Amino acid sequence: MAFDQTERPSIAARLDAELRHAHPATVLASAIESFGDKLALVSSFGAESAVLLHMVSKIRPDLPVLFLDTGMLFGQTLDYRKNLAARLGLTDVRDLRPAYNDLAVTDPDAKLWQTDTDACCNVRKVLPLDRALVDFDAWITGRKRFHGGDRLSLPVVEEASGQVKFNPLANWAKEELDAYMAEHDLPAHPLVAQGFPSIGCWPCTKPVEEGEDVRAGRWAGQDKTECGIHVARAPGTVTNVGGDI
């Protein structure tokens, strides 16, 4: 089912009113029913990703799962992505990589993260995802309110950049995620046991101390808390411009 971009804000508002207190699996089922093959899940295969991936595997294992392989991920994340996808029977996990032409111009020696993390995230995350999302009207994220910052007021369904975004885990607490992992015997990302409660690229992720915020190890010491894929852009600016994925 496809919706015109002009319809999406009102669809998102209606679905958010219906689903703001719903179980994450109910939110997923509604997203799939509403958007069919125009829906994708974006997953980092990070510390808490197994919960949403497991729920999706029970409802629609062939849902497209978009994985941003920035070229800077921990080897443990690449192994976890491969093994977890196989274990859950997810049949359409797509590895999104930075465009060769973009890297040649902006980050030819792979050191851009040392001088401009916003530009590095843009070429390695934002642009590849924007290009992939051209094929979809709606996407699912794994964000939760308890991660703090801008996420504290996260709605369950929202409209951004002309697309509908579902945040099925917005309401869940860490304890609910842990309980779900245990109940379904889901494997943890191997770096969680080494003190990484949130896992991104290796140059920009550090372990955190007991009691620190979940995302304190992401871009630690910088005035940066998000990579940019959730920054809203004007509808219609998400276009397939330049480069291959």
DSSP state of 163: E
- Taking CB under 6 A as the binding criterion, the range among 32-40, 47-55, 120-128, 150-158 that sits at the site for ligand SF4 is 120-128
Clarify whether 227 is annotated catalytic.
yes
Using the rule CB under 6 A, is 61 a contact of ligand SF4? no
User: Residue type at 184?
Assistant: H
User: Residue type at 53?
Assistant: L
Distance of CA 31 to the CA centre of its chain: 16
Q: Which residue is nearest to ligand SF4 (CB)?
A: 201
CB-based contacts of 104: which residues, under 8 Å, 6+ apart?
none
* Smaller CB separation from ligand SF4, 36 or 149: 149
Using the rule CB under 6 A, is 201 a contact of ligand SF4? yes
Least distance to ligand SF4, CB of residue 201, Å: 3
**Among residues 99, 101, 106, 157, which one has the least CA distance to residue 131?**
99
Using the rule CB under 6 A, is 46 a contact of ligand SF4? no
Asked if 155 and 5 count as a contact pair (C-beta separation under 8 A), the reply is no
**Among residues 102, 138, 181, which one has the least CA distance to residue 1?**
138
- The count of chain residues that interact with ligand SF4, using the rule CB under 6 A, is 13
Buried b / exposed e along 166-204 (16+ C-beta atoms within 10 A): bbbbbbbeeeebeebbeeeebeebebbeeebbbbbbbbb
CA distance 101 to 245: 10
* Smaller CB separation from ligand SF4, 124 or 165: 124
Least distance to ligand SF4, CB of residue 71, Å: 8
Please pick, among 227, 229, 230, 238, the residue that the annotation labels catalytic: 227
**Residue among 8, 54, 125, 230 that touches ligand SF4 (CB under 6 A):** 125
Quick note: the x/- pattern for ligand SF4 over 96-115, rule CB under 6 A, is -----------------x--
Q: Any idea which residues carry the catalytic annotation?
A: 227
Applying CB under 6 A, which residues contact ligand SF4?
Answer: 70, 72, 113, 117, 120-121, 124-125, 200-201, 203-204, 227
